[in-house]
Structure 1
Amino acid sequence: MNKKGRFPAQATEGKKASATELVVEQPAELLDFVLASLAGRSRNSVKSILARGQITVDGRTVTKYDHPLKPGQQVAVSWAKVIGERESQLAGLSILHEDEDVIVVHKEAGLLSIATAQEKDMTAYRQLMEHVRRSDPRARVFILHRLDRDTSGVMMFAKSERVQQQLQNDWQDAVQERTYVALVEGAVRSPEGTVKSWLKENKAMVMYSSQKPDDGQLAITHYKALKTGKDYSLLEVRLETGRKNQIRVHMKDIGHPVVGDKKYGSRSGAIGRLGLHAHVLAFRHPRSGEVMRFESKVPPVFMRVFKE
């Protein structure tokens, strides 16, 4: 390490280069070496690059952060847009961020988060389990929260039981922002509002609201109108609590069911899917404490109903 605290390395990177090549000049661990050699990159960013298999040592892909380096070895960081065969095998799912503790993904509508009695294979959970085990057969992923099958957007998984428990136990403080966009039926009169109730589930596994305190799980939903038309409204919805089907039940409660949600009173199939999208997820990283924010664009189909 030199006087500035960086590991000496000889780097070559042309303006149009698809990779940065580094030469190790003194012993170091891979993560520290790459972090010191790539100016402006955060620790989590470099961890993500490693986890994706974008770094090779003497031509061999290495994903372990503590991999020892020796003087003279060649380290290459690939900047290719396609980040490897492992991710290309994912269906209805794309990885937004991955490090040693968490995986943040974008899930498309139609994909289950986890298995049900009817379907066990094609789920986000199963695909991500296979994804992490391609580099480490002992690796696992752990559920932190779920998105309904027909809800698209950002969701996060833990990569250890310890991290799962840490985040779930501290969920209210760890999650800084959790925002959805909902396309609902009808013109919402109030530009914003809050819905509060206690949610319960009947024998048919349908959730419903009770206004009796402590009669079920407390659920609080805040909403704000983004766009209002004659027949539909686009709402920004922020969850203060995260209960099963919470947004869907609360939108029904205010008389504006989510488009495509027949289970909770919708009569419109205008967009061919459920009009619910997990737009933003921001959380405090369980290891670094850094606040990380991920945003998934509102599906264009949500806007089509407003076109004349």
Structure 2
Amino acid sequence: MTEEFDIEENGEQDLYEHLRIAVDKGQALLRIDKFLMHRVENASRNRIQNAIEADNVLVNNKPIKASYKVKPFDIITVVLPHPPRDTEVYPEDIPLVIPYEDDDLLIVNKPAGMVVHPGYNNYTGTLVNALVFHFSKLPHLPGNDGRPGLVHRIDKDTSGLLVIAKNERTITQLAKQFYDHSIHRKYLALVWGDIEKDGTVAGYIGRSLKDRRVMSVYDNEDKGKWSVTHYTVLERLGYVTLIECQLETGRTHQIRAHMQSIGHPLFNDALYGGNKILKGTVFTKYKQFVDNCFGILPRQALHAKSLGFIHPQKKTYITFEADLPQDYASCLDKWRSYVQYERSK
């Protein structure tokens, strides 16, 4: 029930050795996934197979398949794109915006620019560091070391709502709702292009073969995980459109990858090509206008607007909404003014 934790990578990195096993001379032939289940603490077979598929398990310095049979004198290494580090999260006194809190959970309105949990190049200053400071005993999901209280995440430069569990029973029940796709999440996205009507994007999301920082949408289930996003047109602003996206699934970069796949990348999304002028005129004044908008909103135009779920203890449906942050609202206002000006000419 931890599928929400598809970890965003910051790019191709050197691989660091986290585990090294020298197989002894008396070892009988055994599939490597089964072999590692008994050698890696708290690792499920599924987790090991995922690591093998990602080429993070090497035998004699070469990637192998899960069906590989371990032989005497093999050297097995587990490599990851970040240095070995303990999983302890250090508390930091970072202010949090908490629209709601009770004995079981809290809702956080995360600002853009804040990383949710510690990872490569971001071991401090994260939301989790702040949570550990403010709440001394947050629970963990199995296999989720270093991410106390978290059952889902949003990207660093996405603003908006997250639910945080404060005890074991709550984190388990919230994780089940995410697993069942019964939690309702809506995002506001400003995308390039004139979208005329509502729609749905579906497909298998997996790492791009050209750039592992980027997620691609495939029609082959062997290449990724199933994903569905429904979108509704809220406001058409000439060369950009404001839409509301409702997630059925919660994959890494889901909205960003889905909208890019149908030719409407998010406004100023550098990773998915939205930080270029993709629609509009060739006039210098228009280019200056768009550059000004990029300056006002120096990130992808994505905001986690609403979050609704059944309270794990109260058993009632609760919902929360977060207003657009100032950078996003100001960018929208500039586009509205531009459209009015063009129509008045």
Specify the alignment match of 1:154 in structure 2: 161
In the alignment, structure 1 residue 90 sits paired with structure 2 residue 94: yes
In 1, Cα distance between equivalents of 2:266 and 2:168: 34
In the alignment, structure 1 residue 201 sits paired with structure 2 residue 201: no
More strand by share: 1
Specify the alignment match of 2:177 in structure 1: 170
Amino acid at match of 1:307: S
Unaligned ranges ≥5, structure 1: 1-88
Q: Which has the higher contact order (CA 8 A, sep 6+)?
A: 2
Residue by residue over 1:129-171, the C-alpha shift from the partner in whole angstroms, topping out at 9 and shown as x without a partner, is 11012xxxx4554111001000000111111233222221232
Amino acid at match of 2:308: A
Amino acid at match of 1:258: L
Counting only pairs closer than 5 Å after superposition, residues 278-297 of structure 1 correspond to structure 2 as: 278-297=304-323
Residue by residue over 1:210-266, the C-alpha shift from the partner in whole angstroms, topping out at 9 and shown as x without a partner, is 012454100001001101122211000000111110000001011110111111121
Change (3 A) 1:116 1:213: closer
Q: How many residues align?
A: 214
In the alignment, structure 1 residue 235 sits paired with structure 2 residue 238: no
In 1, Cα distance between equivalents of 2:104 and 2:306: 20
Change (3 A) 1:222 1:174: closer
In 2, Cα distance between equivalents of 1:247 and 1:160: 30
Is the contact made by 2:117 and 2:128 (CA closer than 8 Å) also made in structure 1? yes
Residue by residue over 1:179-238, the C-alpha shift from the partner in whole angstroms, topping out at 9 and shown as x without a partner, is 00001112113x200001101114623211101245410000100110112221100000
Secondary structure, aligned partner of 1:307: helix
| Residue range with higher mean Cα deviation, 138-147 or 98-107 | 138-147
In 1, Cα distance between equivalents of 2:266 and 2:219: 21
CA drift of 1:175 comes to 4.1
Counting only pairs closer than 5 Å after superposition, residues 184-199 of structure 1 correspond to structure 2 as: 184-189=191-196, 191-199=197-205
* Structure 1 vs Structure 2 CA RMSD: 1.9
Please list every run of at least 4 consecutive aligned residues from structure 1 whose deviation after the TM superposition is greater than 3 angstroms.
138-141, 172-176
In 2, Cα distance between equivalents of 1:113 and 1:175: 22
In 2, Cα distance between equivalents of 1:273 and 1:171: 27
Counting only pairs closer than 5 Å after superposition, residues 52-91 of structure 1 correspond to structure 2 as: 90-91=94-95
In the alignment, structure 1 residue 120 sits paired with structure 2 residue 128: no
Specify the alignment match of 1:109 in structure 2: 112
Counting only pairs closer than 5 Å after superposition, residues 240-259 of structure 1 correspond to structure 2 as: 240-259=248-267
In 2, Cα distance between equivalents of 1:101 and 1:227: 37
Is the contact made by 2:138 and 2:165 (CA closer than 8 Å) also made in structure 1? no
Specify the alignment match of 1:307 in structure 2: 337
Secondary structure, aligned partner of 1:148: coil
Is the contact made by 1:192 and 1:225 (CA closer than 8 Å) also made in structure 2? yes
Is the contact made by 1:107 and 1:154 (CA closer than 8 Å) also made in structure 2? yes
Secondary structure, aligned partner of 2:121: coil
In 2, Cα distance between equivalents of 1:277 and 1:163: 25
Counting only pairs closer than 5 Å after superposition, residues 254-269 of structure 1 correspond to structure 2 as: 254-266=262-274, 267-268=276-277
Secondary structure, aligned partner of 1:143: coil
In 2, Cα distance between equivalents of 1:275 and 1:118: 24
In 1, Cα distance between equivalents of 2:258 and 2:331: 19
In 1, Cα distance between equivalents of 2:257 and 2:181: 25
Is the contact made by 1:232 and 1:306 (CA closer than 8 Å) also made in structure 2? no
Is the contact made by 2:177 and 2:183 (CA closer than 8 Å) also made in structure 1? no
Is the contact made by 1:251 and 1:257 (CA closer than 8 Å) also made in structure 2? yes
In 2, Cα distance between equivalents of 1:115 and 1:207: 21
CA drift of 1:298 comes to 2.4
Is the contact made by 2:181 and 2:249 (CA closer than 8 Å) also made in structure 1? no
In 2, Cα distance between equivalents of 1:241 and 1:283: 14
Identity of aligned residues (%): 34
CA drift of 1:172 comes to 5.3
Amino acid at match of 2:184: E
Is the contact made by 1:196 and 1:221 (CA closer than 8 Å) also made in structure 2? yes
Is the contact made by 1:167 and 1:174 (CA closer than 8 Å) also made in structure 2? no
In 2, Cα distance between equivalents of 1:188 and 1:200: 25
